[in-house]
């Protein structure tokens, strides 16, 4: 391994592992080769701590990288096309053999004309100064004893223009001081430290951050009250509704509490500190700006605030600091950890920058540049072809999700873009379903809910877990069912009772708890009872199944009448025989059927297929598709109905 790469991995891992350095996320590092011709640099999208010989870096040709910055033709391009052009060109000047899609850091060009080892970070300690109105003067004073003073870089639009600005400032600095700067403070952005030797760079970055930190004030210690879980639940539902009303998007809502959040929220001027504007490009890109202060949760008022942001052409808030409760984040699971980190950093920086002379925020024009850059990049990904699911970001609970149809339905809902909660008494089986979902769709959100549908306390606990994970509910599919196959004269009463418990009481308890949440949330919803064609046409030797499957259809009709005023639709799906993955269709059950029709067990599946108009074996995905349809907006006028998905066997009126 090249020495320069070894050194890069060492400094990256060292700073990446230290929480004092990497708060606020972001940051990148580079080391140039001994001959100065190439530069190893962190790849974009990887964490500093995860960089290794195998991954997390690219190597660039230094001269060609500098060529991009000097290219007049690039300067002449309109802002947005230019940034994409530069990102592509950076890829072209890579001189390694890496075939992967990893791009060099978007700040790569900027590293090219600094000293050999470069560490760039956005630590809170620096943020407090570079976001303070007179941060420049304070930093000059703080570092007055340096042999060569730090270089202050006034805010410049990120990307290419920032690289050009720094290149001219560094050139001027070199003329004046006879050396390149070692410390660069970037207004409303962060810190660059650059030295020829890796250890010197590491020592310096530590010294700079420590000195800044020792001039800041930590939050006062606070005693936190235990959370009022009902209030947290209600707030989640309310945020979810307001968010949907303003943006047309379903979102997960999560709740976060910490000492610093509690301390910040007790400041008298917390709302003013949040209202001071967007601090940095990162805060805008990763968290849509600062958290919105909410005095008292109210869906309509929240929707009006978000709508006003959209109207003004700003990004809408995705994080909310709700008085006395804490931080709430609305959005897909994958953004939550990042947004929380950005908010934690932001409140610390706001608190301290305010004490250091007032918060310096991004101007509207500076924000606009970043928004348009992002929009342009987004259009590109759309052009590259991304399809949005019919149930994007909706929250669904599926019972019996550990096996057979429940599993297929859960997978089908996830394929349609929903977050799925996999409720089953058999949590190992549900965990297998979860593994299948994340293996197929790495970005999907799926959680296992341990749940015996026949036990009310257990059902309620499962829904509380759902609220903790996703913060709302749009879809319930009741699929956990049993089918004890006995002739009437042989049917043991406990088997009869078990079927009533699971197939009727279970469906009822789940629907009751789900409807309560959906009503409180106020966004409508969809409940589907998975019945069976046996619920319409009796089948032989199936007394409890016939009774309960018919009962499920009829319960759904009644619920449809009750819940219609809340725009909660309730329907049933009646599948034909689905053998794939089903535990109901176990060898014993198949034997009973074979006997019933006087055929051999292996003839059972072909026998059932022969009875369908389409001459087709029904698969799990066929049932899942029917359910996705019923839960989607396309079925917005369908409620109280039974959709028979049986390849044409039972034709209901
Ligand atoms: N497979 C078919 O041919 C077919 C046809 C029509 C309807 N259905 C219906 O589909 C549903 C699922 O059938 P399957 O064949 O996939 O069954 P299956 O036995 O393969 O799966 C049922 C799942 O429900 C879970 N379960 C059982 N009791 C539970 C309880 N008390 N609480 C929580 N979970 C519990 C089980 O652990 C299992 O994971 C049933 O409602 C059934 O009536 C199936
Ligand atoms: Zn940066």
For 214-226, the pLDDT digits (tens) are 999 999 999 998 8
**Band of residue 379 on the pLDDT scale cut at 50, 70, 90:** low
Concatenating the DSSP letter of every residue in 81-92 gives: HHHHHHHHHHHH
CA of 405 to the centre of ligand 2 (A): 49
pLDDT > 90 in the chain, percent? 82
pLDDT of 376: 67
Alpha carbon of 270 to those of 290, 291, 463, 601: distances in Å?
12, 11, 33, 72
Partnered with residue 191 across adjacent β-strands are: 121, 185
* Domains contained in the chain, CATH given: 3-213 (3.40.225.10), 229-383 (3.40.225.10), 395-582+619-645 (3.40.50.720)
Q: Ligand 1 pocket check: which of 582, 585, 618 to mutate, most ligand atoms within 8 Å of Cβ? A: 582
Q: Is 406 in the pocket of ligand 1 (CB under 6 A)?
A: yes
Tokens of 435: 């593994």
Tokens 């018919």 belong to which residue?
550
| pLDDT for 381 beyond 80 | no
- Ligand 1 contacts CB of residue 506 (under 6 A): yes
Cα 470 to Cα 468: distance, rounded to the nearest angstrom? 6
* Confidence band for 25, pLDDT divided at 50, 70 and 90: low
- Whether residue 426 has its Cβ less than 6 Å from ligand 1: yes
Whose CA is closest to atom 42 on ligand 1? Answer: 481
The atom number, within ligand 1, closest to the CA of 583 reads: 20
Is any atom of ligand 1 closer than 6 Å to the C-beta of 646?
Answer: no
- Ligand 1 atom, smallest distance to 430 CA: 39
pLDDT of residue 378: 65
Q: Is the CB of 544 under 6 A from ligand 1?
A: no
Among 545, 589, 597, 607, the one annotated catalytic? 545
Say how many C-beta atoms besides its own lie within 10 A of residue 66's C-beta: 16
Mean pLDDT of the 507-515 span: 98
Task: Say what the pLDDT of residue 380 is.
Answer: 59
Does residue 95 surpass a pLDDT of 50?
yes
Identify any residues that bridge with 571 across adjacent strands, giving them in sequence order. 528
What residues pair up with 31 in beta bridges, in sequence order?
A: 40, 117
For ligand 1, atom 16: residue with the closest CA = 404
Ligand with minimal distance to 401 CA: 1
Ligand 2 centroid from CA 283, angstroms: 11
Q: Is the pLDDT of residue 536 over 50?
A: yes
pLDDT of residue 387: 43
Model pLDDT for residues 320-341, shown as the tens digit of each residue: 999 999 999 999 988 999 999 9
Ligand 1 neighbourhood includes 619 CB (under 6 angstroms): no
Residue range 352-360: mean pLDDT, rounded:
95
Residue 247's pLDDT is what?
95
The per-residue pLDDT for 386 is: 41
- Measured from the Cβ of residue 363, the count of other Cβ atoms closer than 10 Å reads 13
| 507 is annotated as an active-site residue | no
> Considering the chain, what is the average pLDDT of its residues?
93
Q: Is 452 in the pocket of ligand 1 (CB under 6 A)?
A: yes
Q: Is the pLDDT of residue 470 over 80?
A: yes
Length of the chain: 653
Measured from the Cα of 581, ligand 1's closest atom is 20
Q: Atom 7, ligand 1: which residue's CA is nearest?
A: 532
* pLDDT-based confidence at residue 24 (cuts at 50, 70, 90): low
Asked whether the predicted pLDDT for residue 277 surpasses 50, the reply is: yes
Distance (Å) from CA 424 to ligand 2 centroid: 46
> In sequence order, which residues have a C-beta less than 8 Å from that of residue 243 and are 6 or more positions away?
249, 251, 253, 302, 303, 306, 330
Separation CA 331–CA 342 (nearest Å): 14
Distance 530 CA to ligand 1 centre (A): 9
Give pTM, 2 decimals.
Answer: 0.90
Mind listing the pLDDT tens digit for each residue in 517-531?
999 999 999 999 999
What is the average per-residue pLDDT within 380-384?
Answer: 54
pLDDT at 493 over 60: yes
Output the six-digit token pair for 333.
Answer: 């699971």
Say whether pLDDT at 301 is over 70.
yes
């Amino acid at each position: 391994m090249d020495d320069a790469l070894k050194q890069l991995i060492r400094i990256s891992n060292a700073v990446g592992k230290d929480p004092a350095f990497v708060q606020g996320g972001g940051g990148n590092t580079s080391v140039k080769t001994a001959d100065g011709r190439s530069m190893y640099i962190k790849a974009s999208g990887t964490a500093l701590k995860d960089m290794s010989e195998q991954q997390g870096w690219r190597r660039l040709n230094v001269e060609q990288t500098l060529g991009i910055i000097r290219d007049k033709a690039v300067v002449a391009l309109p802002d947005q096309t230019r940034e994409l052009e530069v990102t592509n060109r950076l890829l072209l000047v890579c001189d390694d053999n890496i075939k992967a899609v990893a791009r060099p850091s978007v700040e790569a060009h900027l590293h090219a004309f600094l000293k050999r080892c470069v560490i760039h970070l956005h630590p809170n300690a620096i943020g407090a100064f570079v976001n303070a109105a007179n941060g420049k003067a304070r930093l000059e004073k703080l570092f007055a004893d340096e042999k060569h003073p730090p270089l202050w870089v006034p805010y410049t639009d990120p990307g290419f223009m920032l690289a050009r600005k720094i290149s001219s400032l560094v050139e001027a600095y070199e003329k004046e001081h006879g050396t390149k700067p070692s410390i660069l403070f970037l207004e409303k952005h962060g810190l660059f430290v650059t030295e020829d030797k890796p250890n010197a760079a590491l020592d310096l970055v530590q010294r700079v951050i420590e000195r800044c930190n020792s001039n800041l004030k930590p939050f006062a210690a606070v005693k936190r009250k235990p959370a009022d879980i009902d209030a947290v639940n209600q707030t989640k539902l309310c945020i979810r509704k307001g968010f949907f009303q303003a943006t047309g998007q379903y979102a997960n809502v999560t709740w976060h509490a910490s000492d610093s959040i509690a301390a910040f929220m007790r400041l008298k001027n917390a709302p003013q500190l949040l209202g001071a504007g967007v601090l940095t490009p990162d805060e805008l890109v990763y968290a849509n700006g600062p958290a919105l202060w909410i005095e008292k949760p109210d869906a309509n008022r929240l929707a009006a605030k978000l709508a006003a942001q959209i109207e003004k052409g700003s990004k809408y808030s995705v994080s909310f600091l709700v008085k006395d409760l804490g931080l709430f984040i609305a959005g897909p699971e994958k953004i939550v950890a990042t947004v929380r980190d950005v908010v934690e950093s932001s409140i610390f920086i706001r608190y301290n920058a305010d004490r250091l002379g007032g918060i310096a925020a991004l101007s509207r024009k500076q924000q606009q540049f970043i928004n348009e850059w992002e929009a342009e990049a987004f259009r590109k990904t759309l052009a590259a072809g991304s399809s949005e699911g019919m149930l994007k970001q909706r929250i669904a609970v599926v019972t019996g999700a550990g096996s057979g149809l429940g599993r297929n339905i859960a997978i089908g809902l996830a394929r349609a873009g929903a977050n799925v909660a996999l409720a089953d008494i058999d949590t190992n089986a549900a965990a297998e379903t979860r593994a299948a979902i994340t293996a197929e769709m790495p970005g999907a959100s799926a959680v296992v809910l341990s749940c015996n549908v026949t036990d009310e306390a257990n059902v309620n606990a499962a829904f509380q877990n759902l609220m903790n994970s996703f913060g709302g509910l749009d879809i319930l599919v009741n699929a956990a069912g049993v089918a004890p196959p006995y002739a009437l004269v042989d049917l043991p009463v406990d088997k009869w009772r078990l079927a009533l418990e699971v197939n009727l009481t279970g469906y009822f308890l789940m629907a009751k708890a789900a409807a309560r949440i959906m009503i409180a949330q106020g966004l409508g919803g969809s409940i589907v009872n998975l019945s069976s064609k046996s619920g319409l046409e009796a089948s032989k030797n199936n007394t409890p199944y016939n009774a309960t499957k018919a009962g499920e259809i009829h319960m759904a009709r009644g619920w449809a009448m009750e819940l219609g005023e809340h725009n909660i639709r309730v329907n049933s799906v009646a599948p034909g025989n689905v053998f794939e993955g089903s535990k109901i269709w176990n060898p014993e059950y198949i034997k009973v059927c074979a006997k019933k029709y006087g055929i051999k067990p292996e003839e059972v599946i072909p026998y059932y297929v022969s009875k369908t108009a389409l001459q087709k074996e029904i698969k799990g995905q066929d049932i899942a598709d029917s359910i996705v349809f019923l839960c989607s907006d396309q079925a917005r006028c369908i409620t109280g109905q039974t959709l028979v998905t049986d390849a044409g066997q039972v034709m209901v009126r």
